[in-house]
A and B are shown apart, each in its own frame.
Chain A
Amino acid sequence: MRPPTGDYPLRLEDEHIPMVRFQNVTKRYGDLVVLDSLDLDVEEGEMVTIIGPSGSGKTTVLRMLMALEMIDDGVIYLEGEPMTHMVKNGTLIRADKKYLRRQRLNIGMCFQHFNLFPHMTALENCIEAPIQVLGLSKTEAVERARDLLDMVGLLEKSDEHPSRLSGGQKQRVAIARSLAMRPKVMLFDEVTSALDPEVIGEVTQVIRKLVDKHNLTMLMVTHQMGFAREISDRVCFFYDGKIEEQGAPEQLFENPERERTQQFLSAVLEAT
């Protein structure tokens, strides 16, 4: 239980506290440095999109925030409280399992390959954690799940198993499943990459709705530049585990300053 090296506050006490703060976050797999002293703030209600070449660490950022794995250095803060660490005897120590489970409640995640539970119906997928983790009654959980399935346009598919749903429908159920936990931050990892082109729209439509109607904080990895540009408050271009460039979408897409950003964007435009 090594404390993080360097100086980290036990909690953020500035007058303005970001929803999420990555401070000096490093993640390695063996010798490979996947995230390299990353600093990133996400404000409450902000939609931040991450773009960048394959292998640049985009997924890793989300997985670290979801605490699917431990970071090697640095601290992630959530609403000013440390998320990856906890305070003990006036210092930060690695969060234990219990602390992590409580912190994870604030965060929802949607995966590229949906990861729906195949042996449960759409509705069962959406009520499992609210009942088991949040302690909702079955009636409450079902009501909440049906509202959300209705919101993503799949109320009539409530009793279907995932194997009977199309890719786009699966992803919409997965979004509903995450939202049922009422997270403060939603993470989307290439949620349209595994989909056939004609059903991508139904998923982006749902995300658009979330942005317009709810004040959710969102962090999204995508290869759909048009969608990113239209919907984001800020776009971060990742390269080699670092943020190479970030800014408002118009600025980053129209006047990228860095050469790597320009190369990446022209290569992506070439492909579409």
Chain B
Amino acid sequence: MFDWRWEFVGDILPRLLKATGNTLLAALLGYGIAVVLGLILALAQRTHYPLLNRTVREFVEFIRSTPLVLQIFFVFYVGPQFGIMLSPWTAGMIAIGLHYASYLSEVYRAGIDSVPMGQWEAATSLSLSAARTYSRIIIPQAIPTAFAGMGNYLVGIFKDTPMLSVIGVAELMHTANAIGSEHYRFLEPYTLVGLIFLAISLPTAGALRKAEGKIRENMGLR
């Protein structure tokens, strides 16, 4: 009917699977950056320096309100204008890491805000120090809430990696484009890319949901 060629699929699948490795690597590297940087952005907003708070807040808002793909171009092309050459991978990881760091900083903030005021007051009434209050009382309770958001963004960053193809990172989408223009066939490569994404993101999302329930249970929060 629409001329799906299995043997072409057989030819290109190994190449796509190899590129899947790059996609996963990009997602995990970017996420690693985002997890750490996001925490710094979140904590910076809880300090008592109004100027720092404001600046970081506005920065996070700016990153969250503008398209990732444009940020990727920005990071990749602006460097050379000032004599700094960044490889596609470096530029891509900076852009996507920073973008998701902004998202994760909000997740951390929401997690901490989800802990009721009474918990802070109880900790204060027991004379627990600020560090102890964070590490023993607040953060453990913020984790289940934050975990859900962190999981969503792990799947999210994975699904956003195709945007790295625009600056030549050889991930899945980039490879599918290359195959398409070599063979003048787009049906199989693009469909396969879609299926590979589904095959990874659906089970991951399901597993993360289960894990969240487990975490709550293990902490006695149910």
Contact = CB atoms under 8 A, between A and B. Distances in A.
Q: Report if A and B touch in the complex (beta carbons < 8 A).
A: yes
Interface of A: 63, 66-68, 101-102, 104-105, 107-109, 111, 113-121, 128-129, 132-133, 161-164, 177-178, 181
Given A104-B127, A115-B118, A133-B128, 7 more contacts: A66-B121, A68-B125, A101-B129, A111-B118, A117-B122, A117-B141, A128-B128
Q: Which 4 A-B pairs have the closest CB atoms?
A: A161-B220, A129-B126, A115-B122, A115-B118
Interface string B111-130: 00000101101101111110
Contact of B121 (A107, A111, A116, A163): A111
B219 interface: yes
Nearest to B136: A128
Contacts of A114: 118
A8 B137 CA distance: 37
Contacts of A63: 121
B125 A113 contact: no
Interface string B74-117: 00000000000000000000000000000000000000000010
A108 B126 CA distance: 7
A66 B132 contact: no
Given A117-B137, A118-B221, A107 B118 contact: no
A113 B116 CA distance: 11
A102 B127 CA distance: 8
Nearest to A98: B129
A162 B127 CA distance: 21
Contacts of B213: none
B127 A105 contact: yes
B183 interface: no
Nearest to A120: B220
Contact of B127 (A115, A119, A121, A129): A129
B221 A178 contact: no
A128 B116 CA distance: 19
A265 B121 CA distance: 31
Given A105-B127, A118-B141, A68 B121 contact: yes
B168 interface: no
Nearest to B143: A119
Interface in B49-68: none
A163 B122 contact: no
B140 interface: yes
Interface in B124-155: 124-129, 132, 136-137, 140-141
Contacts of A162: 220
A119 B219 contact: yes
Contacts of B121: 63, 66, 68, 111, 115
B222 interface: yes
Given A104-B124, A105-B127, A132-B132, A163 B118 contact: no
Contact of B141 (A119, A132, A181): A119
Given A119-B219, A162-B220, A178 B125 contact: yes
Contacts of A118: 141, 219-221
A36 B140 CA distance: 39
